[in-house]
Amino acid sequence: MGIGDMRRVETERCTDLYYVDPGVYEVPGHTSVYLLDGERPAIIESGIGKHTDRVLSALDELGISREEIEVIALTHVHLDHAGGAGELAAACPNAEVVVHEQGAPHLVDPSTLVAGTKQVVGESGWQFYAEPESVPENRIREVTDGDVIDLCDHELAVHHAPGHATHQMFYHDPANDAVFTADVLGCFYEQFDTARVATPPPTFDLDQCLDDIELLRDIDAETLLYSHFGPRPADGALDAYADVLKAWVARVAQTRRRQDDDRAAFKHLLGANDVPEGWSDDLEYGELRMNFSGAVTYLDQQEGAATGDRERPTTE
């Protein structure tokens, strides 16, 4: 599947559901945006703001007019999930933009989110992003755990899952027996047998992430709709990712103990990291820096240490 391509989700119970690759970070197979062609058509996730034209082209291919889109549902406000929301909202004038109540202010004024992203990914990583457009406040619907987005022939049941980020939630679509997983189960790229971690600062919490996975287990959906990347059967995925998460945090902790400081620990992990096919060095650097920083912050909090006690990785 290449950048700009769209496919139908073909698991047994999914109907009228498609996903498009908008080319986030200029590589194929990184980020999915989902299109639900129901009675109330919806877009789930937005990608970053650079390539919303590819999402809109997919709507055209499906014969869905932009005025027909009634919901743009975001799992959380990290820019790879919500950075294109302002552009999509402008193009789809009748759509309400659904987001967790803690994330809504960042859609109206994304400046803090942008500054935090730049600090985490560094200058080399920021080249893959775009400054997000603001979403008008009157277009936003704030939701929280237990709410339901009614799409007539489908519904999206909201489940707060704050382990990855406090403003993260996932959506359960019972009619499709599927879950839009956000980053609860990390990033599942085609060339790997299991998911890679998604552990960004400042609020990554390993224990809460494991609780979020248990919530998915209780729902027991047949199909997992990864934001990174595409649909996959649920069999074995939850246990596998729980193991990956725990192993990653343990690896970061062990590497820190063996290195002089966090800069050296990061460089060691970077040199030993498996890079997905087609990724540039800058992209891999930014992704690993983000995941390393989140694990370090979590570990320091667990140890009761001040955040500034240890030197952080830099782009230098």
**Exposed e or buried b per residue across 250-285, where buried means at least 16 C-beta atoms within 10 angstroms of its C-beta:** eebbebbeeeeebeebbeebbeeeeebeebeebbbb
State phi, psi for 163 to the nearest 5 degrees.
Answer: -65, -40
Copy the structure tokens of residue 310: 């240890």
In percent, how much of the chain has pLDDT > 70? 96
Structure confidence at residue 305 (pLDDT): 46
In percent, how much of the chain has pLDDT > 90? 78
Per-residue pLDDT tens for 147-176? 999 999 999 999 999 999 999 999 999 999
Report whether pLDDT(56) > 50: yes
Higher pLDDT, 275 or 103: 103
The Cα–Cα gap between 296 and 235 comes to 31
Report whether pLDDT(124) > 80: no
Structure confidence at residue 306 (pLDDT): 43
Domain 6-246 has CATH 3.40.710.10: no
Report whether pLDDT(281) > 90: no
Per-residue pLDDT tens for 79-102? 999 999 999 999 999 999 999 999
- Furthest-apart CA atoms within the chain: distance in Å: 58
Answer whether 0.85 is exceeded by the pTM: yes
Domain boundaries, the chain: 6-246
